Amino acid sequence: MTARLLCAAAMLLAAACAAPSLFHSGPTLVHGPVDDMLDRRTQALRTGDETRFLADLDPKQPDLLQRERMLFANLRQFQFSEIRLHQFFPPDIAKPIDLQNGKAVEVGVLLSYRLAGIDTGGTQDGFDYTIVPRNGRPVVTKIDINALGSDSNNVPWELVPLRVARSGNVSVAADDTAGDPAALAGAIGAADQQVRRLWGSRPAAPGTLVFASADPTRTRSWFFAGLAATIETSAFVSRVRAADEHGIISGDVIGGRMILTTGRIPADQIPGTYRHELAHAISAPLSMFKPEPPPWATEGYASWVEDPNNKVRLDYVRNAVKQGTFTGRLPDNATFYELARIHLDYGLGLTVFRFIAGKWGAERASDVYADVLSGKSLDAATTRVLAIDQATFLQQWAAYVRQLPA
């Protein structure tokens, strides 16, 4: 990335607060030929005009044309409530780009969008456009993916051809290895309805977008897997950060993208795996990136939604009690995902919500999770929801764990 783009990125990421409007549609302080070109591409995306979408690209760059034709075809399969290509620089610091005939310039470009029925707000993908002015007209000769402050620069619709199918609140975008997206959407959509009934009217992502492939190398390169990928090897959810119209990334979460590696989950575990990941995705907008929610809560609740009686996970807990290694304390956030104890930690997290549901009911289990996920302390959550303080709760939970039936 050039020094110009690095400087702008630093200014944007250092910004303290975002503008109130996610997608500003009025005039900016500067608007030149590059902005006009991006407006043309935006309008082409919105209206389905592939010829116009490709018109400002260098016809001598077949790879570029093929890649952008793929991107256009992919994006046109989704429903966006907002979508816009625009310069990375916010209007208050942008300067007219010096276009000299035949001289290449590099421009940071954002694709700002909000998926209809899926996201609670706007987010973005980033690109570096190389533009060579020819006869007073900006011609795009190269486009590189650039995260520009986002968590990932590997959004699948920019990388591979996709087929999209929908069922209920779930949209599945599958590559050519993943099989029938409609069948996947139907199965995941059924699990989605189960999770949403449990989650009730609490704040939630209105829908979930699933990217699917049978190629594990490919799925591991899509989005940010996080530490949970050490155990959730066939499916994981990556939370999506909100972004304002100027490209400023906030700590807010607008939803989650499920990344699914097909053909690797045992048949009897498929519905539970879907419920686990959907619990992450549906509740994602309640969470923040700073501070991060404790993994004993996020993985424990998702494991409870997956299967409250999961024998494999509960047996790790029973063995710890039998061997005298259960300390009576919640898993340590700092070591939760360490391979030596990750299975036990998942199991202990599961017992927290299993205990609450058994004594106070499933509604209260979801209420405690929602409070902790949104940044409240466990003490504040148990006091509000269960009318007992954290110390009393943990004492009762530890006694419950020590008496788990065989």
Residue 27: which domain range? 3-149
**Predicted confidence band of residue 20 (pLDDT cuts 50, 70, 90):** very low
Q: Using alpha carbons only, what angle is made at residue 235 by residues 268 and 282, rounded to the nearest 5 degrees?
A: 100
Query: Do residues 237 and 348 lie in contact, with contact meaning Cβ atoms separated by under 8 Å?
Result: no
* Residue type at 383 in one-letter notation: T
Between 369 and 1, the more confident residue is 369
Residue 358 tokens, joined: 């058994």
Query: Do residues 30 and 91 lie in contact, with contact meaning Cβ atoms separated by under 8 Å?
Result: yes
pLDDT of residue 101: 78
Lowest mean pLDDT among 41-45, 85-89, 111-115, 358-362: 85-89
Residue 349 tokens, joined: 């997290």
**Predicted confidence band of residue 10 (pLDDT cuts 50, 70, 90):** very low
**Would you say residue 29 has pLDDT above 90?**
no
Of 216-220, 260-264, 314-318, give the range with the top mean pLDDT.
314-318
**Would you say residue 326 has pLDDT above 80?**
yes
Domain count, the chain: 2
pLDDT, average across residues 169-178: 97
Residue 191 belongs to some domain of the structure:
no
pLDDT of residue 45: 98
Residue 261 belongs to some domain of the structure:
no
What CATH number does residue 111 fall under?
3.10.450
C-alpha 39/C-alpha 43 separation (Å) is 6
* Residue type at 229 in one-letter notation: A
C-alpha 341/C-alpha 226 separation (Å) is 17
pLDDT of residue 15: 38
Alpha-carbon distances of 357 from 23, 278, 304, 342, 367, rounded to whole Å? 42, 19, 10, 23, 10
Chain Cα centroid distance, residue 196:
18
**Predicted confidence band of residue 62 (pLDDT cuts 50, 70, 90):** very high
**Would you say residue 79 has pLDDT above 50?**
yes
Residue 19 belongs to some domain of the structure:
yes
In 307-389, which ranges are continuous DSSP H helix? 311-323, 342-360, 362-373, 378-386
C-alpha 92/C-alpha 192 separation (Å) is 43
Between 342 and 99, the more confident residue is 342
Buried b (16+ CB within 10 A) or exposed e, 6-18: eebbeebeeeeeb
pLDDT of residue 4: 39
The domain boundary residue, chosen from 94, 129, 149: 149
Which residue in the block uniquely carries the two structure tokens 């897997």? 225
Mean pLDDT of the chain: 88
**Would you say residue 23 has pLDDT above 50?**
no
Summarize pLDDT for 253-284 with one digit per residue, the tens: 999 999 999 998 989 899 999 999 999 999 99
pLDDT of residue 289: 72
**Predicted confidence band of residue 90 (pLDDT cuts 50, 70, 90):** low
End-to-end C-alpha distance for the chain, whole angstroms: 58
C-alpha 309/C-alpha 39 separation (Å) is 54
Summarize pLDDT for 224-263 with one digit per residue, the tens: 666 555 556 789 999 999 988 777 888 799 999 999 999 9
C-alpha 198/C-alpha 192 separation (Å) is 10
Residue 193 belongs to some domain of the structure:
no
C-alpha 164/C-alpha 349 separation (Å) is 35
The domain boundary residue, chosen from 94, 124, 149: 149
Question: 170 exposed, middle or buried (CB, 10 Å; 0-12, 13-18, 19+)?
Answer: buried
Residue 214 belongs to some domain of the structure:
no
| Sign of the torsion angle spanned by Cα atoms 259, 261, 262, 268 | negative
Residue 85 belongs to some domain of the structure:
yes
C-alpha 232/C-alpha 235 separation (Å) is 6
Residue 223 tokens, joined: 């989005």
Helix axes of 378-386 and 390-402: crossing angle, nearest 10 degrees = 90
Backbone torsions φ then ψ of 378, nearest 5 degrees: -60, -35
Strand partners, 142: 130
Residue 240 belongs to some domain of the structure:
no
pLDDT of residue 17: 37
The domain boundary residue, chosen from 125, 149, 173: 149
Residue 310 belongs to some domain of the structure:
yes
Chain Cα centroid distance, residue 208:
9
